[in-house]
Amino acid sequence: MRIVFDIGGTSLRYVKYVDGAVVAQAKEPTPSYKQGHTSEEVNQQLLDAIARAIGASPGSIDEIGICYAGPVSASGHIVGSPTIHGTKLAQPYDLQSAVQTLTGISRVRVVNDLSAAAYRYIDDYDSFELVTVSTSVGNKIVIDKQLQLGSQGLEGELGHVPAFLPSPFSEDISLACSCGFGNNHIGAVSSGSGIADVAALLKSKALKESFACSPLAGSKSLSAEEIAAASAKGDAFACSVIDVCTYPLAYAICLTLSSLYLEKIVLMGGVIANCPYYYDSLMQNILDIGVYNYSQEHLTQKVIKGALDDDSGLIGMNCYLDSIS
């Protein structure tokens, strides 16, 4: 039996496979610094969660795969995770060895969650970029079916690049990134959490008038989910907020397309799945910014939605383990 974990910024999930078939699955909240835990406490709670999952099938699991929301070295060391640990760890944490010691199972692999997700698409395209938009923003690039990663796994952190914001909204937006290395990073602006944060800033500033006319003016929370629902109905305030939020990611995608040959840019994540207007806005911003020598038809064929589920990490990790078996 194989067990695969997806340790995300919000949820920790696992699936158990026997001969490729799913036989069990479960989900629980991911422990993180957001609950006031130290990095050491988070690490221990992650091990406790893994032990509980293993304990449900004692003696029957012979392989473990873990995809993790943060940079992971080739040897299975966690470098950090802005959504789980908050900032870069003082010392890399050897999660792979810790799980081997905990379980007595030698066949343990730990990789970045988006690296794992890329294996869901690696048979479809030779060269592509996978971009996820959810709690934050991340990416991975595959060239000739090879993930482009160094030994420390630090690549693919597009969300922590400073965002290029459209004028005049740039004057009203100042969002600290959870990585601790600056403000207004792409992940802080173009993510699901960014949508809510940008809306909270602009409702009393640049978009004050449209907010006053919006049904959202009566909302107490002004959540990303509410903004997504309002944008689907054509609400001017909600659409304007998302247009601002998608601009930095659109700019980054244009830079990538100008720099590399890629068959596709594949978009995934909860925001892509649950906010149809986000994709439309992103594409419009890409078209408005433009890519030299690219036609509108070419761009719309290049930048596509991936699977609209939340299973790419789990499915991709299972594919990765198959590829190295």
Q: What is the pLDDT of residue 23?
A: 86
**Helix, strand, or coil (residue 283):** helix
Q: What is the pLDDT of residue 300?
A: 95
Give the confidence band of 144 by pLDDT, cuts at 50, 70, 90: very high
Q: What is the pLDDT of residue 142?
A: 97
- H-helix or E-strand spanning residue 313: helix 312-324
Strands 108-112 and 63-68: parallel
- 57 pLDDT above the threshold of 70: no
Q: What is the mean pLDDT of residues 168-184?
A: 90
- 216 pLDDT above the threshold of 60: yes
C-alpha 204/C-alpha 259 separation (Å) is 38
Question: How confident is the model over 72-127, as pLDDT tens digits?
Answer: 999 999 988 888 988 777 889 999 999 999 999 999 999 999 999 999 999 999 99
Residue 303 phi/psi, 5-degree rounding, is -100, 110
- 155 pLDDT above the threshold of 60: yes
Give the confidence band of 24 by pLDDT, cuts at 50, 70, 90: confident
Average pLDDT, the chain: 93
- 241 pLDDT above the threshold of 90: yes
Residues above pLDDT 70, as percent of the chain? 98
- 60 pLDDT above the threshold of 90: no
**Helix, strand, or coil (residue 2):** strand
Give the confidence band of 59 by pLDDT, cuts at 50, 70, 90: low
- For residue 217, which of 232, 234, 200, 240 has the smallest C-alpha distance? 200
Task: Give the angle subtended at the CA of 85 by the CAs of 179 and 62, to the nearest 5°.
Answer: 130
Q: What is the mean pLDDT of residues 235-254?
A: 98
